[in-house]
Amino acid sequence: MVHSKQETLEKLYKNSSTKLYQKQVVNRKGTTPDGVYYNEILAKEILAQETSNNASFLKLQIYPKKVVKTGFIYKRGKEEPEKGSEKALCHHWLINKEFDNQKVAKVLGKPIEYELNVVKKTKVNVDLVSFNKTTGIIYLIEVKGKVAKSSKTYKTSETLLRCVLEIETYYRSLGKDFLNNFKEETIKKGIDISGAKKVKKAILVPEESFIEQQIKGLPIKDLPVYPKFEESEVHKLLKFYKDFEILFFSNENRGW
């Protein structure tokens, strides 16, 4: 179904109690009748609200409404996650203490925790946390990718805009003492991150996903090629939020 620009923006402003990344409209992949991607319309509107002098729910609702913790809680269960799930991917990388892609590892370093709860009494859990010893950067990583039944590859239906809004929300949820608290607790667990000096955000998704097609301008089934990413509205929003890395892992199903 094709939606107009007006209807798309109306959906964005509807249900003011719902956080931006939870709104279905930010996950629309198509274009308006005149060929403009919904992600582009929405990113432009959100950036305009973020940079305006007037307070608006679009600006404020990116923050969780609950009281932010000064620390964090380890939420992951003792049981192994279901095979083919995003949690299983994170669990595999954490147990093996490394990413299986050299390009990813060079940027993100080594996984040190997953399912990290950063907001009190909410389900605001960061999928995966890594530490790059060389750069001294801790990454909060939004991981997308599941293996559907009978599928041979990891896939995700997420748009880049939704992923950006989700991990940005989590990042803004951190207590002011998060870095020091996290360093202290992680070192107690025997993991040396004493050299950590900054926290950044990352999005990690399968190759051949819609997000990769958005960024690299690859052919998209039944849709026009996405605008040149460096000139896109989504990229402008990313630049405003700062400190983002977007990386891709092999979509091959390896039975994890």
pLDDT reported for residue 80:
75
DSSP secondary structure code for residue 25 in this structure:
G
pLDDT reported for residue 33:
95
Torsion of CA 31, 35, 38, 44, to 10 degrees: 180
- CB contact set of 169 (below 8 Å; sequence gap of 6+): 19, 20, 21, 62, 63, 64, 124
Beta strands in 34-189 (DSSP E): 68-74, 110-119, 125-132, 137-143
pLDDT reported for residue 74:
54
Is-contact 181 137, C-beta < 8 A?
Answer: no
pLDDT reported for residue 67:
47
Distance CA 46, CA 232 (A): 14
The one-letter amino acid at 230: E
22-45 burial, b at 16+ Cβ within 10 Å, e below that, comes to ebebbbbbbbbeeebbbbbbbbbb
Closest CA to 201 of 169, 155, 236: 169
* Domain parsing of the chain, residue ranges: 5-249
Beta partners for residue 147, in sequence order? none
pLDDT reported for residue 150:
72
Distance CA 54, CA 178 (A): 29
Beta partners for residue 220, in sequence order? 223
pLDDT reported for residue 194:
95
pLDDT reported for residue 8:
97
Tens-level pLDDT at each residue, the chain (256 residues): 899 999 999 999 998 888 899 999 999 999 999 999 999 999 999 999 999 887 677 776 776 544 444 455 555 555 678 888 898 899 999 999 999 999 999 999 999 998 888 776 677 789 999 999 999 999 999 999 998 777 789 999 899 999 999 999 999 888 888 898 889 889 988 999 999 999 999 999 999 999 999 999 998 988 999 999 999 999 999 999 999 999 999 988 777 6
pLDDT reported for residue 63:
64
